[in-house]
Amino acid sequence: MSQPIILILGANGQVGTELQRSFGNVGKVTACDRQRADLSKPEELRALIRQLRPNVILNAAAYTAVDRAESEPELAMTINGDAPRVLAEEAAELDAVLMHYSTDYVFDGSKASPWVETDATNPLNIYGKTKLAGEKFIEAVGGKYFIFRTSWVYGPHGHNFLRTMLRLGRERDQLKIVDDQFGAPTSSIAIADATRAAVTAAMDGQPEYGIYHLTCGGETTWCRFAREIFAQHQKRSGAKAPEVSGIPSSDYPTPATRPANSVLSNKKLQSELKITLPEWQGALVETLEKLQD
């Protein structure tokens, strides 16, 4: 396909910003922020897509305020459920590739080993339930779609755990961070680059469409992630690292319940699409270097 038309939704977000970098020389890219493509008004998306007639739709927009979703379930469902359904319908009509991002929070965390794509879903919070609804709507429509479940997303742009820790590290000498939730921190840089590889495969042939887990390698806890952030930041900047203490989730109650284990297996991604993301520690170093630049 020569010069594909690529539509990026959520242009100002963590992943959307990196997608613009990663797809900068792939084709004709139109990147839309919330002002131009508001997922809380799904029917307006139809007109936009019918006007642009993209070959590839990259949906990096979502309702991601996990705790606030508990008090705004209808808005979260509109953005995370209804809007992806509209995107899937319009993509299928155009025979376009739809790339949609989902979450580790579709699982309840009860499994001791990494979750695979065929494991039973059972989200514990409204955010997870609405993201699962979006998955199911896309599956029901069918067509050329990738659903990438990712986890603990952070990056050099937007609001995320990394940037919050760096700010708190400047303000405080001691921090208490949850140490009994396990997952894989995944950088927006790695997600965008993996997305480009998947889209390239789709344009070059007939890949296996469907649901994939897409995270950086390895696993950790929020507390250990924070310690690594400060260790790497101190190595680069000389800034004094705060003392980080681990606490149980019960000591840090939140409106939304989080799964205890949301580590995802990437074996299907590696075997079907030949894509492997870096280990989470290496991705963190890359992100910190980009932040310093």
pLDDT at residue 281 in the model? 96
Is 209 one of the catalytic residues?
A: no
Active-site residue (options: 63, 101, 105, 127): 127
Q: Cα separation of 260 and 169, whole Å?
A: 25
pTM of the predicted model over 0.85: yes
pLDDT at 205: 76
Which pLDDT does position 50 carry in this prediction?
94
Q: SS3 of 173, please?
A: coil
**Where do the domains of the chain lie, and which CATH numbers do they carry?**
5-159+186-216+264-278 (3.40.50.720)
- The pLDDT of residue 195 is 95
Alpha helices in the chain (DSSP H): 14-22, 42-52, 73-77, 83-94, 126-141, 161-171, 188-204, 222-237, 267-272, 280-292
Portion of the chain with pLDDT greater than 90, in percent:
81
Rounded CA-CA distance 43/108 in Å is: 32
Report residues of the chain scoring pLDDT below 50.
Answer: none
Rounded Cα distance, 91 and 98, in Å = 6
CA distance 48 to 82: 16
pLDDT 10s digits, 149-198:
999 999 998 889 999 999 999 999 999 999 999 999 999 999 999 999 99
Helix axis angle for 14-22 and 188-204, nearest 10°, is 50
Report the candidate in 47, 50, 54 with the shortest Cα–Cα distance to residue 31: 54
